[in-house]
Chains A and B, each alone.
Chain A
């Protein structure tokens, strides 16, 4: 298994991620390989309020299972408004 590219089951999960994120985030996707073989995939959705944005991030383990999914919302000053945990259904702060 390559440690520089997502493996096939991770790729499949990334494709599901891509299908479900907002349309204005589909062109702003970054994929990062984590040290344990997991993958983090991030997509940024710019808001209508100038400077605001939401970053959708999914972490996928080496077996292709989603282990974390968050949406982080930033205000125009680039300060975090809140982080929404999609899996555990919690909002921080």
Chain B
């Protein structure tokens, strides 16, 4: 059964399948779109960057992922973090212009996405859960040590 546009877009923002498969499915749909967009949230970017940091994805795969997202008319951001998210996707999609993806750049992006946004309780809750998971992971792996 063919997936709907929204199903394919969800697969894209969560990077759940190889990009070649996602690209093939996306190419079934016209570029022009004026319906309800699928929202890309900070959690999607954080998840993809975590997979880059853990070695699941290389920098080229992250660049290609961001390029599939960049400028699409059927994707959008929440108003509360639109400026930050637009900038992050632009940076990831354009390493020749903005610099290649490194651990330091991931750190900077995490920082940007952690800054207070316009009041959005759902976002704050989700970000808190993600950060808890990340901190827990690094504490267990010994990367984080107590100041004492």
Instruction: Please list the residues of chain A having a beta carbon within 8 angstroms of any beta carbon in chain B.
Output: 13, 16, 20-23, 45-49, 52-54, 56, 64-66, 69, 71, 73, 75, 81, 84, 86-89
Contacts and interface: CB of A to CB of B under 8 A. Distances in A.
Contacts of B23: 89
Contact of B72 (A20, A22, A48): A20
Task: Give the 4 A-B CB pairs with smallest separation, nearest first.
Answer: A47-B97, A89-B23, A20-B71, A66-B31
Contacts of A87: 27, 31
B31 A47 contact: no
A13 B86 contact: no
B132 interface: no
A33 B82 CA distance: 32
Interface string B67-79: 1101111000000
Given A16-B32, A45-B90, 7 more contacts: A46-B97, A49-B98, A65-B30, A71-B67, A73-B96, A87-B27, A87-B31
8 contacts: A16-B73, A20-B71, A20-B72, A22-B90, A48-B98, A53-B97, A71-B71, A86-B72
A49 B96 contact: yes
Contacts, number: 62
Contacts of A16: 32, 34, 73
Interface residues of B, number: 22
B27 A88 contact: yes
Contacts of A71: 67, 70-71
A49 B27 contact: no
Nearest to A73: B96
B26 interface: yes
A13 B99 CA distance: 31
Given A13-B32, A22-B86, A69-B31, A86 B97 contact: no
